[in-house]
Structure 1
Amino acid sequence: MDITPRKRAKVVALNEHTSMTVRDIATAVGVGKSSVSRILKTYQDSGSLSPKRKGKCGRKRKTTPRTDKILIRNSKINPRKTSTDLRRDLLDSGIEVSTSTVRKRLLEVGRKARKPKKKQFLTKKMMQKRLVWAKKYRSWTVDDWKKV
């Protein structure tokens, strides 16, 4: 998580204008000790509060925005599909991604790719109980049901 410029300025100000230790500054500002040390070192080396970023960080995304749209559309069309099924659909389109990537992309838009619970089939006994119940309340009117 990035530290706000306001917190960086507070760290430098506390270091220059008080005799607080790195630990005390970290506690006062609400950041880690190593973060305070890094902020102070950057400020002493360059005189700047903002860190120098060296290009783009992290691994490049395997999927493109177009691929993400296809994946989300397939998920919306059939919400019962698992991440493995959705991955297989993408593979048929010539896009190779892992099931974990599929799950990550769906989670980014608030969707889940889970195998739905299996529905328990009705047994003969359950069917008979339902029939008895239905016959018992067959003559009820709308007013009777409103009182429930």
Structure 2
Amino acid sequence: MEARARALQALIRLRKTEVDQAKAALARMLAEEHAALGRLETRRAAIETERRETLVGQVSSDDFRLWLPAGREAVESAATMLHAARCASDQAREALMQANAALKAAEAILDKRLEEEKEMRTRREQAEIDDLSRRGRVAAG
């Protein structure tokens, strides 16, 4: 194998490492997104729990009214964090797609290069066979 093909194989190993890193980053971002969604749901549930407790008289309506802005702020904060986590997941997904595309491109170039090398060897072998055949006819003739 020639130097160019070896260089392409090194590039493919690098691209595979990049794909692995992009997969790991996406997994982390999806875990963060899942956690952010959980926090948002927990904070929304807290408002509903407080509302139900107020309706059944376990919490005074004045206490609920005083607490509600903080509860809503917690929900808004969690929603903001979820949005940021989703954006990060989208970016990580895009990075993975780009890494996969770069890997596939490098593999395609190597495959083409190896095919060209194979064709060149086949042509050389055929030329040698033809040359030996001509020599054999000249020597016999």
TM-score category, normalised to shorter length:
under 0.3
TM-score normalized with structure 1 length: 0.22
Structure with higher helix content: 2
CA radius of gyration, larger in: 2
TM-score normalized with structure 2 length: 0.23
Higher relative contact order (CA 8 A, sep 6+): 2
